[in-house]
Amino acid sequence: MSVTAEAVRQLRERTAAGMMECKRALVETNGDLDAAAELMRKQGLAKADKKASRVAAEGVIVTAQAADGKAAVMVEINCETDFVARGDDFTGFAATVGQATLDSNAADVEAVLAAKTPSGESVDDLRRALIAKIGENISVRRFVRVESAGILGSYLHGSRIGTLVALEGGDAALARDLAMHVAASSPRYLLAADVPAEDVAKERAIRVDISLNDEKNKGKPEQVLAKIVDGGMNKWLNEITLMGQPFVKDDKLSIEKLLKAANAKVTRFERLEVGAGIEKKQDDFVAEVMAQAKGSGGR
């Protein structure tokens, strides 16, 4: 059957799909707009399922904060390419996910996906529709929610690194400075006491072994070697804990001293970075070209 340009236009407005996809759906449903929209939705779900196994290691970090400033969330939403991550469709979807995560008080990613958005659709409905539109796998990978009776600081470094800091005492400027510091220095723990005992023991064993095998330490008394190891351990603990790190704006001032001067205390911090921990596929361009050459008979 013939399909009018007006019908195609209306279906494109409803689905945000391409012109040819809309035309095919209208032909298949004999021009029924509702049936065509439903068919395209089902096709979109199928496309989303097919793309679910593809590695999505690009994307953005988004934050959303409650109006009273007492709660905030930070969410990582992934796609396959940086090009898509910078697009308006993806960034708009990510902002919607951030707000839905905050509003729903979700406990896990499954609850985020089930959360309703202003359009009445769930986050997962929007995710699958966007996959169908742009042709890449998209996932809501993880999120954190931080609540505080004090001040919450947040910071986004571009769109790839995000931080939240809960602060007792101090002010908003200090909270933001600390959030920026966490983004730059990536502490793993708040205090030295938070470092797992097995990690401390492992690091100490390594440093003892290095100390004993260092030619410069030959003949030194045991108590001297012990002090060398202790000094190395203190340096290591300062490097991985927020309280021990030098402040990024003044490396002569530790975060611990900065907080003491402001009569403030960090109760929690969180840092997310896009793609951290995801194993990315490394394409061998030379091997790909050679395989294509062999396939074409060397021509």
CATH value at residue 33: 1.10.8.10
Q: Are residues 95 and 45 in the same domain?
A: no
Residue ranges, the chain, pLDDT below 50: 45-46, 284-285, 296, 298-299
Q: Are residues 168 and 97 in the same domain?
A: yes
CA angle 133, 135, 140 (to 5 degrees): 90
Q: What is the pLDDT of residue 161?
A: 97
Q: What is the pLDDT of residue 38?
A: 78
Q: Are residues 209 and 244 in the same domain?
A: yes
Q: Are residues 33 and 152 in the same domain?
A: no
Q: Are residues 166 and 212 in the same domain?
A: no
Establish if 287 belongs to a structural domain: no
Q: What is the pLDDT of residue 18?
A: 65
Q: What's the whole-model pTM score? A: 0.76
- For residue 18, count other CB atoms closer than 10 A to its CB: 11
Q: What is the pLDDT of residue 214?
A: 83
Establish if 32 belongs to a structural domain: yes
Q: What is the pLDDT of residue 35?
A: 84
Q: Are residues 75 and 118 in the same domain?
A: yes
Establish if 280 belongs to a structural domain: no
Q: 282-292 burial, b for 16+ CB within 10 Å, e for fewer?
A: eeeeeeeeeee
Establish if 283 belongs to a structural domain: no
- DSSP bridge pairs for 71: 147
Number of domains in the chain: 3
Q: What is the pLDDT of residue 149?
A: 93
Q: Are residues 123 and 208 in the same domain?
A: no
The pairing of beta strand 265-273 with beta strand 161-168: antiparallel
Q: What is the pLDDT of residue 46?
A: 45
Establish if 298 belongs to a structural domain: no
Domain extent, residue 177, equals 58-186+268-273
